[in-house]
């Protein structure tokens, strides 16, 4: 098993102890239970931001997520790469529907401006909301919205009690920023779903549906170029092949038009970088997958920001989509 130097200095915390500590931690935080009509995932974003989780140092975040699932009495699997899979049954009447996979990565790029006093090994990231509605880090550091945004939305869905949805397989992976390593090590036979919604995109109203250089489909309107870290070699990332027939994409577009008042989503290909769909599409060739997310800027830099209204809209769309799948 691959272990980073950060992980080697830690020991695994017994699940029972981790669950107890998490319960005590959560008892100190006021949570508003998410409902289909009131997106409150942002509180979970604040919570996950408090946990140091640089890529390669995800033990604490992984244990937190595993304990979160256990507190909800859900099925939890945590592998040697610290990936966490949480399974939630479908709501009443939908228990036997095909599962949907909600996927995001727990790690983040850790960068700060010169002279900023911040220890990424122990200091929390404290999100602040600016006057124009953008979320940034309190200090001049990366925010971790890439991909705390997706993780927090998934946690809110898992905690929701008033939402109609099919069975959910929540997959939270590690070391994405180091080259999609957690996804590469994950045993996909643990999944039963063949519909995967990746929540690691940085532009609202865009569906990323494959690798831009892999096809010349006329419906693909714009290429999306996401900056990589120095540790990720784009040349080593496999193509995510575009599917002409995609029932998931079609249903997502139908719900999108209703949710956004008749607007059409932009269909895009990812260029010069990748999300973990590139790994899963090759390990699960029969799977149908789409990547979405809220508006962000300056990811992987101390200028990183996420638009709060966009974040809430995307979360609301996700809830609506789960009801309609």
From residue 91, alpha-carbon distances to 98, 108, 195 in Å are 12, 32, 18
Give the number of other CB atoms < 10 A from CB of residue 2: 12
**Could you give the CA distance from residue 276 to residue 179 in angstroms, rounded to a whole number?**
9
User: Could you tell me where the beta strands, DSSP code E, fall in the chain?
Assistant: 75-78, 84-88, 100-105, 127-129, 134-137, 168-173, 195-198, 206-211, 222-225, 266-271, 288-291, 296-297, 305-307
Active site residues: 107, 176
**Could you give the CA distance from residue 42 to residue 315 in angstroms, rounded to a whole number?**
9
3 state SS of 259:
helix
**Could you give the CA distance from residue 167 to residue 95 in angstroms, rounded to a whole number?**
6
Strands 84-88 and 168-173: antiparallel
């Amino acid at each position: 098993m691959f272990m980073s130097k950060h992980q080697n200095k830690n020991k695994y915390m017994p699940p029972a102890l981790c669950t107890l500590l998490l319960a005590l931690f959560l008892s100190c935080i006021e949570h508003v239970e998410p409902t289909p009509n009131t997106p409150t995932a942002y509180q979970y974003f604040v919570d996950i931001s408090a946990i140091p989780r640089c890529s390669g140092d995800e033990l604490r975040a992984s244990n937190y997520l595993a304990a979160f699932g256990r507190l909800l009495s859900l099925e939890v699997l945590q592998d040697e790469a610290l990936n966490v899979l949480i399974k939630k049954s479908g709501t009443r009447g939908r228990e036997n529907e095909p599962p949907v996979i909600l996927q995001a990565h727990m790690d983040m790029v850790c960068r700060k401006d010169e002279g900023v006093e911040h220890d990424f090994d122990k200091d929390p990231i404290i999100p602040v909301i600016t006057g124009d509605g953008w979320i940034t880090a309190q200090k001049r550091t990366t925010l971790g919205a890439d991909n705390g945004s997706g993780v927090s939305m998934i946690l809110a869905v898992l905690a929701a009690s008033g939402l109609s949805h099919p069975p959910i397989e929540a997959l939270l992976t590690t070391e994405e920023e180091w080259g999609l390593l957690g996804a590469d090590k994950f045993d996909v036979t643990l999944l039963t779903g063949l519909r995967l919604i990746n929540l690691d995109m940085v532009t609202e109203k865009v569906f990323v549906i494959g690798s831009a250089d892999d096809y010349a489909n006329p419906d693909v309107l714009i290429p999306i170029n996401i900056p990589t870290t120095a540790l990720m070699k784009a040349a080593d990332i496999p193509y995510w092949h575009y599917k002409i027939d995609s029932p998931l994409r079609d249903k997502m577009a139908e719900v999108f038009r209703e949710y956004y008042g008749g607007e059409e989503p932009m269909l895009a290909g990812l260029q010069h970088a990748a999300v973990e769909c590139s790994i899963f599409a090759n390990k699960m060739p029969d799977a149908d997958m789409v990547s979405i997310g809220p508006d962000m800027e300056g990811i992987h830099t101390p200028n990183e920001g996420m638009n709060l209204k966009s974040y809430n809209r995307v979360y609301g769309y996700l809830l609506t989509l789960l009801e309609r799948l």
